[in-house]
Amino acid sequence: MGTVIVGLVLVIVVALVVRSMVRDKKNGKSLQCGGECKHCGCHCGK
């Protein structure tokens, strides 16, 4: 029973992380581009 509970908690945490990443991507934020083009060489087109 403990394994099932830990598995469910892990699935919930992963789902929340993915949801946050999708939301950030829709808002123009991502792990690859922090909006500072001087650091990335303006590959994002901003």
Confidence band (pLDDT; 50, 70, 90) for 8? very high
Those residues with Cβ within 8 angstroms of residue 29's Cβ, 6 or more apart along the chain or in another chain = 35
Over residues 18-42, the pLDDT tens digits come to 999 888 877 777 666 555 666 565 5
**More confident site: 9 or 33:** 9
Buried b / exposed e across 2-39, counting CB within 10 Å, b at 16+? eeeeeeeeeeeeeeeeeeeeeeeeeeeeeeebeeeeee
Residue 11: how many CA atoms within 13 Å on its side-chain side?
A: 6
What six digits make up the tokens of 15?
């789902």
pTM of the model: 0.60
